[in-house]
Amino acid sequence: MFSKTFIHEFLLKTVPHIERILGIRIEMARSLYNAILKEALIRASLMKQSKLWTKAKNEKSQERKKLFQEARNFYQFSDYSLQKFAISVKNSCDIGKHLDTHTCQKIATRAFNAVDQYVKGIKGKPRFKRKGWLSSLEGKSNEAGIRFRGKNLCWKGLEIPIVFNKKDPDLVELHALNSKIKYCRLIQKTIKEKTCYFVQLILEGTPFIKPKNTTKKEIIGLDLGPSSIAVFSKEEASLQAFCPELDPLFKEIRLLQRTMDRSQRAMNPENYENGKIKKDRLEWKKSKRYQKCKKIIAEIFRKTAVFRKRLHGKLVNEILKHGNHIKIEKLSYRGWQKMYGKSVGKKAPSLFVNILRRKVENTGGSFEEVSTQKTHLSQTCHQCGKREKKPLSKRWHKCCDVVAQRDLYSAFLVFHVKDNILDISQAKIDWPSAHPLLEQAMSRLNQTTTGKARLASFGFAQNKTYECSPSQSCSLAKDRSDINKAKDGVGSFPRALESLCSCC
């Protein structure tokens, strides 16, 4: 059984000489990974074409697993066999001068896991790593290879000092340094066009919980959507937009991408036919402006990822203040990608759920995912038990004198689910006290949201109680009398950095 694990990251204080050595080692690791990946794919292909594998697929008895394992053993498709192959490659070339045995074994494990998931049909065919695609290396333990010693990261003749937090004392940092280290991971990042290196300590135990983030032992019902999140507990209910602060950043990205597209079309007119890219193998010329925009977009994406993770953590802490027993519907995020691709790409709801699950488990709470096929929460009325399939455009539940916003009502219902069964009797008992909380949540949301912040999924337009006042108009129409005076913002890419928080 695996012990609990958490991660703490430190910045490394590097000089050009050390950065050059680390860059060479990461490039050697990339070459080794590609060699192992090629060998693993060859072995997997031979294994899947064998008669033994075909016999195992057609078998339906208990012998099925044994036959699959025999095929794997015959073609040496295993983690141990690929680790052995990695060591032989390392010793036969200059890679052995730059990488240690433990690091090479972990690279082999990484390649094997990628191909193994492809063989099992869990993921697609893994790709070979281009230059710059491999950005992390890790050891197997803190005893050899990449290891943490005192205040330095030690690795094959290098001793790189670690930059500690200036705050004295930092309780989070002290808790991490006092925990047992399982192994270390070296990370390479590009920040403001400069290469920086970090070390991640993979530690045994649970992370430090700040006193301000203490939780109650109460049940919370959540309804998460692509653009909104509803929360229900016995004390309070709320409905809000899901990470709306990210929208301005992606607007700047869209303008920069438009600039890049125009530059690419101007530099390569021969690669287009009727406004579309030709299907032949093409060579592209890239202007300096194009390359500059590309670097700015990469930096915005990096800052956006950091900012998004911070917003997720803040929202999780707010939820956990009300309780640490979370109930949420089990969602298909791949299905969401097909229907709400842009929103999912911006907000990353799956990442939010993973952070919520991890923090709930660290506080000793429970995280329960409810089956949507068995409960049908968005279609069910708790008063009569009737199910009515509603289109997504219908944002209010109206049945048996029960009128409630759809997302809040789903959060109320998931609160009363036990073992994938809706407890209708308990929901009826709690409804008189829950209904005022749902109304207060909608009233509060109506007063605090204006303009574009009033999402269509809130359903204000479908309920006359929440008619928009002039200051809260949902219409995006504006006075366009000065439209000719407006400047063309497509090419003004420096604004992209101004809109970002300087703390990222």
Encode pLDDT of 256-281 as tens digits: 999 999 999 999 999 999 889 998 88
The confidence band for 471, taking pLDDT boundaries of 50, 70 and 90, is very low
Are the beta carbons of 160 and 13 closer than 8 angstroms? yes
Distance between CA 157 and CA 145 in Å, rounded? 10
The pLDDT of residue 493 is 42
Residue 494 — φ and ψ, nearest 5°?
-60, -20
The pLDDT of residue 262 is 94
Amino acid at 101: T
The pLDDT of residue 352 is 93
Does the pLDDT value for residue 13 go beyond 70? yes
The confidence band for 466, taking pLDDT boundaries of 50, 70 and 90, is low
Mean pLDDT to the nearest integer, 481-499: 41
The pLDDT of residue 476 is 37
Does the pLDDT value for residue 58 go beyond 70? yes
Per-residue pLDDT reduced to its tens digit, 409-439: 999 999 999 888 888 889 889 999 999 999 9
- Judged on CB neighbours under 10 Å (0-12, 13-18, 19+), 105 is buried
The confidence band for 16, taking pLDDT boundaries of 50, 70 and 90, is very high
Residue spans of the domains in the chain: they are 5-204, 219-273+286-472
Mean pLDDT to the nearest integer, 75-82: 95
Are the beta carbons of 396 and 406 closer than 8 angstroms? yes
Mean of all residue pLDDT scores within the chain: 86
Percentage of the chain beyond pLDDT 90 is 55
Does the pLDDT value for residue 477 go beyond 60? no
Residue 442 DSSP class: H
The lowest-confidence range among 51-55, 243-247, 351-355, 384-388 is: 384-388
| CA distances (Å), origin 492, targets 96, 255, 259, 295 | 49, 9, 9, 15
Does the pLDDT value for residue 102 go beyond 80? yes
The pLDDT of residue 14 is 94
Distance between CA 76 and CA 92 in Å, rounded? 20
Which DSSP string corresponds to 206-233?
A: -----GGG---S-EEEEEE-SSEEEEE-
Distance between CA 250 and CA 234 in Å, rounded? 37
Per-residue pLDDT reduced to its tens digit, 309-326: 999 999 999 999 888 899
Mean pLDDT to the nearest integer, 207-220: 83
Both tokens of residue 302?
A: 């990096």
Q: Where are the beta strands (DSSP E) in 281-393?
A: 325-329, 366-370
Residue with tokens 């390359």: 291
The pLDDT of residue 473 is 45
Distance between CA 199 and CA 76 in Å, rounded? 34
The pLDDT of residue 169 is 64
The pLDDT of residue 494 is 44
Distance between CA 238 and CA 245 in Å, rounded? 18
Residue 383 DSSP class: T
The confidence band for 496, taking pLDDT boundaries of 50, 70 and 90, is very low
Mean pLDDT to the nearest integer, 81-94: 95
The model's pTM is 0.82
The lowest-confidence range among 122-131, 334-343, 476-485, 491-500 is: 476-485
Residue 472 DSSP class: G
The confidence band for 491, taking pLDDT boundaries of 50, 70 and 90, is very low
Distance between CA 6 and CA 181 in Å, rounded? 10
Distance between CA 442 and CA 405 in Å, rounded? 8
Provide the 3-class DSSP secondary structure of residue 197. strand
Distance between CA 504 and CA 349 in Å, rounded? 21
Does the pLDDT value for residue 502 go beyond 50? no
The confidence band for 390, taking pLDDT boundaries of 50, 70 and 90, is confident
Nearest of 141, 90, 112 to residue 41 by alpha carbon: 112
Mean pLDDT to the nearest integer, 187-209: 92
